[in-house]
Homo-oligomer: A and B are copies of this chain.
Amino acid sequence: MKVLGIDLGGTNVALGIVNEKGEIMLKKSIETHVQDGFESVVERISSASLKLISSTGSVDRIGIGSPGSIGHLSGLVRFSPNFPGWIDVPLGPEIERRVGVKVSLENDANAFVMGEKWFGKGKGYTDIIGITLGTGVGGGVISNGRLLRGSTGIGAELGHIVVEPNGYLCGCGNHGCLETVASATGISRLAKEWKGRYPQNTLDGFSAKNVMNAARNKDALGLKVLERVSTVLGIAIGNLIHIFNPQIIVIGGGVSQAGDVLLSAVKKRTRENVMRSFWGTYEIVLSDLVDDAGIYGAASMGFEEIKS
**Interface of A toward B, CB cutoff 8 Å:** 69, 79, 125-127, 141, 143-144, 146, 148-158, 160-165, 172-174, 231, 235, 238-240, 242-247, 272-278, 281
Contact = CB atoms under 8 A, between A and B. Distances in A.
A157 B235 contact: no
Contact of A164 (B144, B165, B272): B165
Contacts of A245: 149-156
B277 A69 contact: yes
Given A162-B238, A165-B164, A172-B275, A127 B156 contact: no
Contacts of A146: 144
Contacts of A69: 277
Given A162-B238, A163-B165, A238-B162, A150 B244 contact: yes
A165 B141 CA distance: 24
A162 B241 CA distance: 12
B151 A281 contact: yes
15 contacts: A127-B151, A143-B143, A144-B146, A144-B149, A148-B243, A150-B245, A150-B246, A155-B242, A160-B275, A161-B242, A162-B273, A165-B231, A172-B275, A174-B238, A239-B239
Contacts of A126: 151
Contact of A281 (B154, B231, B239, B243): B154
A148 B143 contact: yes
Contact of A278 (B154, B164, B273): B154
Contacts of A243: 141, 148, 155-158, 161, 240, 243
A244 B144 contact: no
Given A160-B275, A163-B165, A281 B152 contact: yes
A203 to B, nearest CB: 27
Contacts of A144: 146, 148-149
A32 to B, nearest CB: 23
Contacts of A127: 150-151
